[in-house]
Structure 1
Amino acid sequence: MGEKKLPIALSNRHLHLSQEHIEILFGEGYELNKFKDLSQPGQFAAQEKVDLVGPKGTLKGVRVLGPARPNTQIEISLTDGFVLGVTPPVRDSGDVAGSPAVKIVGPKGEVQLKEGVLAASRHIHMHTDDAEKFGVEDKQRVKVRTTGERAVVFENVLVRVHPTFALEMHVDIDEGNAAGIKNGELVELITE
């Protein structure tokens, strides 16, 4: 069996907003404006940025990703958590129950979250065809080996399979920098 290679990307701090929160932060009836497309089809980095205010400090100019989601979710690194004064749990996207709260400040208003801040678990987006090729299933946990001077093996990597996904692994900025990873680098999926 040959090597199973896929691209990896570093995910910097960002947030997904509900339409309700978009309108509070940017104005009634507001729609996000595309800055650039992301690797996942239909997803984009918006032109809009907000400030996140925690009990200890503020992160200014945090990028909003679109389109609007059913629920607001903020994804930061553990290092960002130190700046804000919160401890984000490492969790799969969407699992925000009991996570820390911060205030989101936009040009037209503010939203005080009750929960919603996390450090996203490392994960792989896979199209259904890729999952078949790699011999993995949705929600399976795998290992991924990097190369280079600071090579590591990432364990407990969540595989997310969907017919609209494009093949790419995501790690947060702390993990990526620690392993000396560059966006688009190829890494090896390991199944045991």
Structure 2
Amino acid sequence: MKLLILDRDGVINHDSDAYIKSVAEWIPLPGSIEAIAQLSKAGWTVAVATNQSGIARGYYDVATLDAMHARLRTLVAEQGGELGLIVYCPHGPDAGCDCRKPKPGMLETIAAHYDVPLTGLWFVGDSLSDLEAAKAVDSQPVLVKTGKGAKTQGKSLPAGTLIFDDLAAIAAELINN
């Protein structure tokens, strides 16, 4: 199985320091939906692992998050693709859970769901916590320059981190190589 795991905010859709609190605020980045659909059509399973502390903070509820993810699935389907498992951490940063990135709980959940090892599997994110979660389970950390990625690029990245302009560039790399 060819599995790719993505962070959501800043990788698939625009991010906001004020949080994405509604379907109306959930706006795909240029080319991201098409990239997911292209990967799907090329035999890749694309899953999502996303911190969503806005739930714990009371900014939106699970039904709103589910509506955002339904919109994402619909857009990918309209491009002829399919999106795999979406897992999220609803906890705040101080909850001490094992799912909130940089902890690897969500990646482990996805791997268990698909019964695949995480070693070497690409996890794409735009923040240091995404890259650290990948490293924690020996996955391949992949940074996109979208979202917070350009700022993250200036930090001390985990050894071996791959860097791409955006999700479309990653799709082209995985499909063509």
| Higher RCO structure, 1 or 2 (CA under 8 Å, sep 6+) | 1
With the length of structure 2 as denominator, give the TM-score of the two structures. 0.27
With the length of structure 1 as denominator, give the TM-score of the two structures. 0.26
Q: Which has the higher strand share?
A: 1
